[in-house]
Structure 1
Amino acid sequence: MTAILSWFNKERGTEPYFMTIGDTKISNSETTLLLQGAKILELPIKVRDMSSPSSQLYFISTISYSYAGSTLVGLNIYCILQTIFSNIGGLQSNQTLPDYISLSEKAKSILKYFTVDSTKVVEIILSGFCPKSKVPFITIISPTLVDGLFDYEIKYKTNFLDEVDVVIIGDKKEDIHKMLELDLSEQTPDDSSEYWRTPVRVLNKIIEEKMFNTIGGGIQMTAVTKYHFKTYSIVYGNTGEVATLRYRNMDIFEDIGLQIGECYVTIPGMQIDLAN
């Protein structure tokens, strides 16, 4: 399985944005297949003018796509949505744009196409800012039973309080929520960065201490603002130590390598434990 956590970050000194994190372990029952798996991906939204002979692009933005469950299904759904959402047609003269509900409904229909029964269950989170209204949103698409038949339900979240309020898909939801509640109860939003990054520290602890055999590898961390999607590496190392950067459980210095010809790999890093 996996664990994906998403929340609306109102860290002091920044314009509010969505953070989504997940582990990188991919397994098949009891067998670990990969410890560097991708589960959170950028989903571009591109709208072209159908009245223009060249189908001129007149709108571009991006949202976050993350999944828990079957990797085969989750990645293939992403690939189809990436193509569809990058080729939306509208009328520039009317500034026609899709809203977050129509995007979510399309994602649900593609998900249902791939999972006609419960053998390859997938949960999805879409998060970002609505192309039409600019409203921040999180969509959760989860499996359910309706009159004994397998289906998917959609839940939307558009109102966000001035506190960490995490949406979780995947495994061990209740356990993770309890850990978050305990950690957050010892802080206040005034603690700012340390407070708002609590979910990252909690997931990192779960992974490092190997609390659950379905969650492991490393951390994948992303952010979505009104303007762009960002992916982060994690900074490891206390003050005075030589720091290292890990991206999806890979050491950027040793496993990936810094150079690309005459250029460099510059995945931005974020520190988890701000107390060190």
Structure 2
Amino acid sequence: MSTFLGIDTGGTASRWVIVDDTGIVIDRGSAAGATGHLFNPVERERLTATLAGIADRARQHAPIAACLGITGLGEAVHAEARNLVGALFAIEPAMVLLGDDMDLAFRATFAPGTGHLVSAGTGSIGLHLRADGSLIRVGGRGLLIDDGGSGTWIALTALDQLYRRIDETGGPAEAERLAAELFAEVGGTGWSETRSFVYGSDRGRIGTLAPAVARAATAGDPLATDIIRRAAAELARLAKALIARVGPLPIAFIGGIVTLHPAIKSGIEAELPGAVVSFPQIDAAAHAAQWARQNYQTEARP
């Protein structure tokens, strides 16, 4: 029996699936996150470690082809990444399909040219994949520039607004519940603890503060509630930008932030009256495994 591997790698987590030659899932699992920034030695080592961990489990199924969507993987490093995957999984490099995680997510949600996708997790991005395979991307420029509505954006906006109140009044004022939730996560109420947490972390760890903001909003904290509302508007903005550039099409919102708080979904829908909006749960790793299977069967056909 031939088997085929699909991997969906994001900055904070990776998921993998193996299917047999009829397309039935026979194994799946998760691993640490990584990026495709192979030009950075630290990130190259991180990706190698993540893939090696998956290989330890997947190798028992001896996959003969693979498809990977890896965040930040540019075409300039495809050859290097293909050789890395081939060596770790004992797969011929020619049987390794590569792309970034958002291209994979789109294909798992829509056929090219038929919709708009907005993804909101640690970061945020909107994209439309044209029928010819070209991509239109909006947002997704990282925490130092934007990533509006993402987990990292929610966390940093909350800290910014909280500390402005502390500057002005000497305390959190009406944002006491938000302060309590955030400071419990960073490990203390002092600036030194917050500074160590934020400036000693990557965007993935910073984004883990977003649930604290959601909890405060659920408890009625007015500042947290406003930030959640603004996050929904930021995500809807990405959809509006795609509509302006491509035209009205169904819009799917995916990622952990969509389910962070009920006001996210309702806020998005309120911002996009008349649009066809959905919040699907996609399995990008399974889609990648099926893609690897289909590609192999096409290539192997006499």
Greater Cα radius of gyration, structure 1 or 2? 2
**Higher helix residue share:** 2
* TM-score, reference length from structure 1: 0.29
